[in-house]
Chains A and B, each alone.
Chain A
Amino acid sequence: MLVLWAVATVTFFAVRLIPGDPAEAILGGPGSQTSPEALAAVRAEYGLDQPVLLQYLSQLGRLATGDLGRSYALNMDVGPLVFSQLGGTLILALLALTVAWLIALLLATWSTGRGRLARQIGSGLEIVAAALPHFWLATTLIVVFSVWWGVLPPISTMDARGLVLPVITLAIPLAGFLGQVMRESLTIALESPFVLSARARGESDRGVLWRHALRHAALPAISLSGWAFGSLISGAVVVETIFARPGLGRTLLNAVTVRDVPVVVGVVMIVALAYILMTVLTDLASRLTDPRPIRTPTGADA
């Protein structure tokens, strides 16, 4: 709750403190001239004529009752708007996370225990991948797969084909991060005594890797996934804009441009909620994966 309150407060004041009049944005837009009467009407309708502190309190009051308010610019309630856009972004983020995990796993397992050259190639690929900016990757993928080869659509479509390029765009840099963490802990795990004892029991190389070492190696990457999910949502702002996908990222970008405070706060609240949920899930996943016995702080066996 405290986190959500802090998120709502910081977002509200951040959007209101940057210069710009939402009323003008509600009515105006390029090339139109707003009449004073229309402006006054809009101000009164949205409560923009009241002091900022009062606006903040009334917004907070609404949020407390679960009402996300009404968008200044889109003529609709924020709740239904955000939830209608949530699905697209969630699918995008979860698929990207999955694909990133697959790429990272493949790269880490391939490049570990195969000598220095393999390790250096793996590490090099990961560093390059992690450093690639989303907008560059998206544009390059569009040029290669849509314009040159014509195999994938450059924009979102009704079917799954339109998801491929956005997911890859988001997955590649993330795979770089995850892969780096994973390979490092994998290397450490493979040199641990329990691996030696597993080998002594006659476990094959593959068995050691998949059954024993990987569980250790995956731990830091799992905890990183909570953070990664947050970064995927922010990456969605870029990716959804470039691939013209409906989603929270694009909604957020449009809302910030026109100072649509209720939508900005609503989107950020939902993202914060998703982030909290994801952190809880990754904690849970860590516990399940961690082969070491779990002890609660009181010292009793769990």
Chain B
Amino acid sequence: MPRQGTVRFAPRPVTLALVAATAAVGLVLTGCTSASPGGDASTPASGGTLTYASGDAEPTCLDPHVGGNYPQALVASQFLESLVSLNADGDVIPWLADSWTVSPDGLSWEFTLRDGVSFTDGTPLDAAAVQANVAHLQDPATGSSTGYLALAKVTGTEAVSDSVVRLTLAEPDSALLESLSQPWLAIQSPTALERSQDENCAAPVGTGPFIVDSWVKQNAITLVRNDDYTSPPQDAAHEGAAYLESIVWRFIPDSASRYAALQAGEVDVIDNAQPDTISQAESSESIVHLDAPRPGASNRIELNSGKAPFNDAAVREAFIRSANVDDAVTALFQGSAERSYSALSSVEPLGTSRPDLFDYDPDAAADLLDAAGWSETDADGYRVKDGVRLTVVFPVSTNQSIPAEQSLFEQIQATAKETGFDVQLSRLDLASWYTALGSNDYDAVSAPYTKVGPDVLRILFDSAGIVPAPSGYFANHAQLNDPELDALLAQANATNDADTRAALYADAQDIVLEGFYILPLYDQQNHFLLSSAVEGARALPTVSTPTFYDTWLNR
């Protein structure tokens, strides 16, 4: 039910192209060969070692069931596989599960597993293995956060036969397949899961094209080829074992060194490429850029509607109108990031984009503040109401916001000042930042959230997300408390009808966007730079982690 002025992804040609482009990054590297078989004159050559350099923090545990963050997903994508995957269009496709059915009430799901698949320790993939994985994820001793949350509605498992497993749900969950496609819910060998957590963290065992061979902490993880590999996802380019003999997975925290290492040929792939290196790489013959925005939420500034001054919608709108985001994004990201006007990532097919709501308009912002009672101005040029300055406390996580993003926040601070906002940026390390959020000591904040599918809206904006966990952590940073929105998100999560679901999520996003609870910035940036010798690499369309199964070295 598109409303007046509402722009959805599908009807708008420009955005459609964007969707197509971003969807296609799953398959195509800019300026490189596509991953489709036979698409290139050169034939894949077997052998060789690929060196990957990650800018992320080194995982503390390689089993993505434990905790569950993006660095774990990146490396686990090479050796673990999930029940289902997504194709480039965002449709769910078979992987370790061949097919699945859901009961009419949506409470019972049956997955038929692929034949002849074994874990790399020889354990066969069967219904009992899937049961063991669900149990492992739901066991508090595992310490799973992402996977635990994704299986919140699953109350039981049952082996219908050797190859058919049934999941029983407390309530229907339209996000179940999307959740299961994520690397954090990958299926591991039940035999290996019985080991101690330390052992399993050091070398998880899956069905993937590579095997964890060794992990020298603070140095490198070595992965070797699984010669008996039989279970590529439906959209892979070839069958059988991977071409690469091994992968060395290194951690190079400094962005400039990482890029220098790629230029010097010491490494073949780097992640977390920064805007300045991306623009350098674009003009290089020997380096290829892979842009794979993460799914789930867009990167956005969330405005804390739970307390003054942002408990007033007019002040939120004034802040958004007073921030000149477009110019800053163009200047700071040098063309590597596209401005977003959506709560969701552009790879989410159900995302709603509303450019009309986020114009830079300082005059309108000033009028809004006047009308909202912030009409006086103090000696420093900031707006004042009842003797209180219009202050926006904005803690910035230096672990999560890249330098360009931190500069963007400074630009926003500068432009919002012209309208009379006193934006107080404070750069904090991760632990201090969590504490600032937990003690409700913020008016604006930017936090990434990666999840497959629009159900991420429920995590981020359902009023249940305002109640902090014992740690003080919570996901609803906008502190959006709207029963109508809660109801829409619950219905969307419960329906198995695709059209109804899409309409419900569209309405839910309108509430979030029209209420000015968030200022969308751009997709969650996820840029990889590859040596041009690396052929056939692509990002999995699930959480945009690269896979090197089809990859071979042309050198």
Interface residues of chain A, those whose CB is within 8 Å of chain B, are: 18-42, 73-76, 81, 84-85, 138-139, 142-143, 146-147, 150, 153-155, 157, 241-244, 246-247, 250-251, 254, 256-259
Is the beta-carbon distance between B261 and A37 smaller than 8 angstroms? Answer: no
Is the beta-carbon distance between B434 and A32 smaller than 8 angstroms? Answer: no
Which of the residues B148, B217, B250, B429 comes within 8 Å of A20, measured between beta carbons?
B429
A237 to chain B, nearest CB (A): 11
- Tell whether B218 is near chain A: CB-to-CB under 8 Å: yes
Residues in A neighbouring B251, C-beta threshold 8 A: 244
Residues in A neighbouring B438, C-beta threshold 8 A: 21
- State A30–B432 Cα separation when bound (angstroms): 13
**Given A29-B69, A31-B70, A34-B473, are A142 and B143 neighbors across the interface (CB < 8 Å)?**
no
Is the beta-carbon distance between A244 and B252 smaller than 8 angstroms? Answer: yes
9 nearest interchain CB pairs?
Answer: A20-B431, A29-B69, A154-B260, A244-B252, A19-B435, A37-B140, A246-B218, A242-B254, A32-B145
Is the beta-carbon distance between B144 and A39 smaller than 8 angstroms? Answer: no
- Tell whether B491 is near chain A: CB-to-CB under 8 Å: no
- Tell whether B493 is near chain A: CB-to-CB under 8 Å: no
Is the beta-carbon distance between B69 and A24 smaller than 8 angstroms? Answer: no
Is the beta-carbon distance between A258 and B217 smaller than 8 angstroms? Answer: no
Is the beta-carbon distance between A143 and B260 smaller than 8 angstroms? Answer: yes
Residues in A neighbouring B350, C-beta threshold 8 A: none
Is the beta-carbon distance between A30 and B399 smaller than 8 angstroms? Answer: yes
Residues in A neighbouring B148, C-beta threshold 8 A: 35, 38
- State A81–B447 Cα separation when bound (angstroms): 32
- Tell whether B16 is near chain A: CB-to-CB under 8 Å: no
Query: In this complex, what residue of A is CB-closest to B264?
Result: A146
- State A246–B218 Cα separation when bound (angstroms): 5
Q: 0/1 per residue, B261-274, Cβ < 8 Å to A?
A: 10110110000000
Which of the residues A21, A32, A155, A244 comes within 8 Å of B67, measured between beta carbons?
A32
B276 to chain A, nearest CB (A): 13
Name which of A31, A41, A143, A154 has the most chain B CB atoms within 10 A of its CB: A31
**Given A30-B70, A147-B260, A150-B264, are A81 and B217 neighbors across the interface (CB < 8 Å)?**
yes
Name which of A35, A143, A259 has the most chain B CB atoms within 10 A of its CB: A35
Which of the residues A41, A75, A142 comes within 8 Å of B257, measured between beta carbons?
A142
Is the beta-carbon distance between B431 and A257 smaller than 8 angstroms? Answer: yes
**Given A85-B218, A244-B250, are A34 and B469 neighbors across the interface (CB < 8 Å)?**
yes
Name which of A23, A38, A42, A243 has the most chain B CB atoms within 10 A of its CB: A38
Is the beta-carbon distance between A155 and B252 smaller than 8 angstroms? Answer: yes
Which of the residues B145, B436, B472 comes within 8 Å of A27, measured between beta carbons?
B145
Query: In this complex, what residue of A is CB-closest to B451?
Result: A31
Residues in B neighbouring A35, C-beta threshold 8 A: 140, 144-145, 148-149, 469
